[in-house]
Structure 1
């Protein structure tokens, strides 16, 4: 008897190993509900049941009750609308490995439908009507999954279902999650799933042939708990998702993704297989957006709050919103801008051919990069508005009705401003434009003109002298004096008490009377220079201003000609450079320190200012010799540094001037020595001083010839990389020759 039981057990085990199957394919067409009764003829140890090609619409929850070895179920090609929870939670729940349910009418999958099917490997639910998959259908314990096919359904969104099952990391088997040919157009995360990149994820997610039209960085980083290293490449490698063959709308929302892909190996990775093509706009249809489309083509047309008859475009390639309102009949600058994306930093306005009459402040003035308002009726520009345009790079105000422009326009180099075609008036308050134009070499519009007394003048050649500005001022002052002598005297006394310095300057300017005691240093014959000039030679505008305006006006023009020591021109080079600066500073009656933005970070200039302070302290009983010149009062770098030490203390008690202030040149002449050092500059020149000047000139010419002969070869013991004020020594030689 025992031998019979053993034999029966062996036969049972053998049959289970070999597997039993029940084929009901197309044989139960007269039934709409699959019940347990219909399967009574099937052995309980069956491993495979095929119920395909029938007409079932529903399945009873206990239809497979009693089967304990089922490994494979095929219910394809029916009309089943739902898989009830518990249907697969039977005796065979641990043995089920394959479930085929394609070509039915399933609309949803609910949580726990595969709750205990830990060994499920293949799930095929393609060609149904699925539009909802609950958040825990694919739970972490489905670790044996190899294929989930839900293609050809009606899903409109994508949740991170594929990344929940904790598949083994060492089996070299990727979970393929096929969601192709659905209606997916957005990515969601209602399950609040995140990952931390600690473990690699072995998934392949196919999202081709859906309705995905955009892929922004917000989507790429949606599933990150903490975004530290925002690498699109890392994200895409982690997700391992294929989103090709979707109807992409190639606008600015795709820019960041394409930009990052251009910088990665994805640009060349399986090119023919991974094609991303545009579906719209129409002129880009079917273009490979990754390989055939330049980044500047990814733009967005903005209609919300864009002015009538205007076009507004976001161009992330240059971080700019462009508003084109050419010939749009505007009467003023737009009051507001359309809403902009976070990566837009600037706005460019093209407003030519309208009826705008003035340029005033707007709440977006600080981000204006380009302002084109040519051929309007502009007759006024608010200087404060220009100050607020801190990012302005190009300005076109040509073809308007401007008679003058505010001085604040100088914040831009002249070659970045177009002003032609305006009826400028030649007045004394606009002579600064000549210097502004002169500092911009090669400007295309340097020949613009102004009118005065029916005469036309080229603005860059206009001077105060040519416009009789000084004479006009004198006539006005003289008339006032003659008319109200007593009032002027009283007013002069009051003014002298309130503004003693300005009063002295005006007296010296108009009466040539220097109302002060003579300083001993001015009479010191050992002094070789009237003034020492300390300035940032690396700043080209500062350098050109010193060379072509300051030194030219005071060394060459006028009755009084002064002699300056200019380090860029006169200093020795090599190891004795610092010592030479100190020596020349002690031989100068005045020390002018021009504070510009680059001065505060220039090592040699800091050294000069320290020595100037020492000279001042050593001679303060005789005369405060140091005079500070502020390059631009409103410059942010200068405004930030002046309240700091040591500049705060150094400016106390010193004379501080600015080219932006009135009577600047009068104040400069007032601060210079009363008598120029060299008699060669006077009307009655002495023979001795002429000989001395000729010797100095011959020596200077010999020095330049030596430099040229050596072909600018560095001197012995002088480092090749040594520099003065940010300018190399070799460049200083060339500057010396030029001067």
Structure 2
């Protein structure tokens, strides 16, 4: 008998003590190795050259010691069945030559101190009380080929705990336990195996808690993974388990899963995997195990492999209840990549307001009582619509906008008196109107052009438009334009000319309005301005905006303009002087502009230079605040006599003469500035009357203003000068 075995070494571990039956060598190279994985026997078993060890209990709590010669170099076997051992012997690691351990039917609850037995070949711990196996429990047992853990009440196997990269377990038996799930890393081992048994547990699903991924450069070889006697209802979803490309699954795996008694739900979740595994179905499922459907009841007993081979994957669907219209049936059919809403023959009078949300909808509303085809948002997601047999007579205008122009759209047996113009985007051979009889006139010529351009003559059995005329019923493709249209060429040309002139005029007016939009806004604002009162108390009366890098301008502002306005009672803010050190400049600028009633912009040659970032930013926020607050004013002092500023808003002030000319010949610059600014806050407490300020054009000579201007000007300046007393009170 010994002569019928040959030396064999597994690919995963360097061993020379295994013997493989000679008949395995007669198989193909791939099958030969797997045959040896299943049938190899240790050499010391064949020659019976081993020693037997025994146990001696040391305490009544189930503690024991191994008895034997620990210095003996022969392989040793420890066999102690039907005892009351509660833990592994404490001196187990002293016997490093142990090859087999059989502790069946004891009371062991934990496995520890076993990693030292690196030469262990077989471990039988069945019928004990082991509830969990950790991923490092057997990680050091590189020679372990046979592991039996049946009838333990086992509830958890950590990922990679029995099929890690360092393990070569060929025979694993974890049947008759209490496992509720199994990690995929424990059923797709890195190394070749013979049989893994997980029968008669309570497994409902296969999970991937260990981050398992397939190595695309490796062929996973093995035998069978027994999963019968569990509680599976859903098929293995390999994509959820980290195997993204199911097309390579069959080429990477040459073993199968035994799930013959599983009560599978033959639904849409199973279909994607079944479709991709058609070429390898016998390798993966071993169809002779007769895996069959349990639900739905109408599929019960049908062989899943046969359904795949017979091209019946369209039977694998999932019913949908959410947003499914009443009395309709909704289901997802992945084989046809569609979600079907079947509302046929249920006496609908209106289209449903909602349907399940999906990207490819098949809408079946055939043979109902729908009279008006209303627009629905879900039309945009439809790839097939059947609304035939309803006799509808109206179609909302935007229906054609919502429906894609490349879908199959069945509308036969309707009562339309006209064809909606929006239908011209459809292909009449796909959007099947059926027979439509309409009273034609010139406005229906688009239908003839539409049908002609779309080659509708070749599908008249799907779309046929008949014109009802005094001469009888004539297909619109056969009718002449002169038979429908009596057009006045002169009237048409006249109308065209009028429309053309009006279009040009409208364009010119629009351009002018756009070009002078700011001037128009300032004039409109001036007309609408009615009050000289302050509606909101502001911190500052005047915010100064100028190029403070200009030393002459800065000197004039500090020593003349600011001084004069302060004497008149104005509360001024000059950014380069009054901004607190360390403040965020832009944020402080926004806050100060918001709390200022008026804005004094001194327009110099360098005010709009690209280098003056802050003056540009100031002007941006000043205009924004001016635009959004009716009681705010902007006063422009044209310091350098600029005629055409770059900024369109500044240019509008100059064009309208709303600026103050710095070279005022009558030397009333300060008077004009005060007049445009209006009264300071304190002066408003004295001047109760609602005085309406006026924009005065600096472009006009002061002498042309007349005597009335002189009188009004003097009276208002007297009021402004009186505000200096109030300023002292405020300070």
TM-score, L = length of structure 2: 0.53
The one of 14, 32, 47 equivalent to 2:76 is 47
The one of 141, 146, 151 equivalent to 2:175 is 151
Question: What's the offset of the Cα at 1:298?
Answer: 2.0
Q: Within 5 Å, which residues of 2 pair with 1:359-374?
A: 359-374=373-388
Question: What's the offset of the Cα at 1:134?
Answer: 1.9
Number of the residue aligned with 1:222: 241
2:146, 2:153 → 1: CA distance? 19
The one of 315, 325, 342 equivalent to 1:307 is 325
The one of 112, 120, 126 equivalent to 1:85 is 112
In the alignment, is the contact (CA less than 8 A) between 2:147 and 2:171 conserved in 1? yes
Question: What's the offset of the Cα at 1:498?
Answer: 5.8
Matched, 1:123 2:114: no
Q: Secondary structure at the match of 2:356?
A: coil
Number of the residue aligned with 1:248: 264
Number of the residue aligned with 1:72: 100
1:188-238 C-alpha deviation (Å, 9 max, x unpaired): 22222334323433444504314444446x6247345xx6xx353445633
Q: Secondary structure at the match of 1:71?
A: strand
1:235-293 C-alpha deviation (Å, 9 max, x unpaired): 5633734254233322222222222222x243588955354322222222222222245
The one of 433, 440, 443 equivalent to 2:457 is 440
Question: What's the offset of the Cα at 1:60?
Answer: 5.5
The one of 261, 273, 276 equivalent to 1:257 is 273
Q: Secondary structure at the match of 1:290?
A: helix
Q: Within 5 Å, which residues of 2 pair with 1:168-183?
A: 174=193, 176-183=195-202
The one of 328, 333, 344 equivalent to 1:326 is 344
Q: Alpha carbons of 1:71 and 1:391: their partners in 2 closer, same or farther (altered >3 Å)?
A: farther
1:68-93 C-alpha deviation (Å, 9 max, x unpaired): 4332111223454x22332x246xx2
Q: Alpha carbons of 1:383 and 1:205: their partners in 2 closer, same or farther (altered >3 Å)?
A: farther
Question: What's the offset of the Cα at 1:396?
Answer: 2.5
Number of the residue aligned with 2:360: 346
Question: What's the offset of the Cα at 1:468?
Answer: 5.3
Q: Secondary structure at the match of 1:94?
A: coil
In the alignment, is the contact (CA less than 8 A) between 2:173 and 2:197 conserved in 1? yes
1:148, 1:469 → 2: CA distance? 88
Question: What's the offset of the Cα at 1:325?
Answer: 1.0
Q: Secondary structure at the match of 1:253?
A: coil
Q: Alpha carbons of 1:325 and 1:156: their partners in 2 closer, same or farther (altered >3 Å)?
A: same
Q: Which one is further off, 399-408 or 173-182?
A: 173-182
Q: Secondary structure at the match of 2:275?
A: helix
* Greater gyration radius: 2
In the alignment, is the contact (CA less than 8 A) between 1:431 and 1:463 conserved in 2? no
Number of the residue aligned with 1:62: 90
2:53, 2:220 → 1: CA distance? 38
In the alignment, is the contact (CA less than 8 A) between 1:187 and 1:219 conserved in 2? no
Question: What's the offset of the Cα at 1:17?
Answer: 8.7
Number of the residue aligned with 1:577: none
- Number of residue pairs matched by the alignment: 448
Number of the residue aligned with 2:535: none
* Structure 2 gap ranges (5+): 1-43, 505-731
Q: Secondary structure at the match of 1:34?
A: coil
In the alignment, is the contact (CA less than 8 A) between 2:287 and 2:305 conserved in 1? no
1:127, 1:404 → 2: CA distance? 78
2:187, 2:156 → 1: CA distance? 17
Q: Alpha carbons of 1:403 and 1:196: their partners in 2 closer, same or farther (altered >3 Å)?
A: same
Q: Secondary structure at the match of 1:18?
A: coil
Q: Within 5 Å, which residues of 2 pair with 1:456-495?
A: 457-460=473-476, 463=479, 469-470=485-486, 473-474=487-488, 494-495=498-499
Q: Secondary structure at the match of 2:418?
A: coil
1:43, 1:111 → 2: CA distance? 32
Q: Within 5 Å, which residues of 2 pair with 1:28-43?
A: 33-36=61-64
Question: What's the offset of the Cα at 1:307?
Answer: 1.3
Aligned-residue Cα RMSD (Å) equals: 4.2
Number of the residue aligned with 1:429: 443
Number of the residue aligned with 1:191: 210
In the alignment, is the contact (CA less than 8 A) between 2:148 and 2:174 conserved in 1? yes
Question: What's the offset of the Cα at 1:361?
Answer: 4.1
1:298, 1:405 → 2: CA distance? 40
Q: Secondary structure at the match of 2:281?
A: helix
In the alignment, is the contact (CA less than 8 A) between 1:277 and 1:285 conserved in 2? yes
Question: What's the offset of the Cα at 1:323?
Answer: 0.8
Q: Alpha carbons of 1:430 and 1:268: their partners in 2 closer, same or farther (altered >3 Å)?
A: farther
Number of the residue aligned with 1:282: 297
Number of the residue aligned with 1:405: 419
2:219, 2:370 → 1: CA distance? 61
1:496, 1:165 → 2: CA distance? 80
In the alignment, is the contact (CA less than 8 A) between 1:367 and 1:391 conserved in 2? no
1:100-128 C-alpha deviation (Å, 9 max, x unpaired): 12233432213433354333221111233
Q: Alpha carbons of 1:391 and 1:133: their partners in 2 closer, same or farther (altered >3 Å)?
A: farther
Q: Alpha carbons of 1:329 and 1:48: their partners in 2 closer, same or farther (altered >3 Å)?
A: same
In the alignment, is the contact (CA less than 8 A) between 2:131 and 2:155 conserved in 1? yes
1:141, 1:203 → 2: CA distance? 14
Number of the residue aligned with 2:395: 381
Q: Within 5 Å, which residues of 2 pair with 1:127-146?
A: 127-135=151-159, 137-138=161-162, 140=164, 142-146=166-170
Q: Alpha carbons of 1:175 and 1:268: their partners in 2 closer, same or farther (altered >3 Å)?
A: closer
In the alignment, is the contact (CA less than 8 A) between 2:410 and 2:431 conserved in 1? yes
2:474, 2:142 → 1: CA distance? 90
The one of 399, 424, 428 equivalent to 1:414 is 428
In the alignment, is the contact (CA less than 8 A) between 1:397 and 1:418 conserved in 2? yes
Question: What's the offset of the Cα at 1:136?
Answer: 5.2
In the alignment, is the contact (CA less than 8 A) between 1:34 and 1:60 conserved in 2? no
Q: Secondary structure at the match of 1:404?
A: coil
2:287, 2:500 → 1: CA distance? 86
Matched, 1:109 2:128: no
TM-score, L = length of structure 1: 0.52
Q: Alpha carbons of 1:251 and 1:32: their partners in 2 closer, same or farther (altered >3 Å)?
A: farther
Q: Secondary structure at the match of 1:200?
A: coil
Number of the residue aligned with 1:588: none
Number of the residue aligned with 1:561: none
1:429-451 C-alpha deviation (Å, 9 max, x unpaired): 33444555663235226666565
2:63, 2:269 → 1: CA distance? 52
In the alignment, is the contact (CA less than 8 A) between 1:204 and 1:240 conserved in 2? yes
Question: What's the offset of the Cα at 1:376?
Answer: 3.4
Number of the residue aligned with 1:21: 52
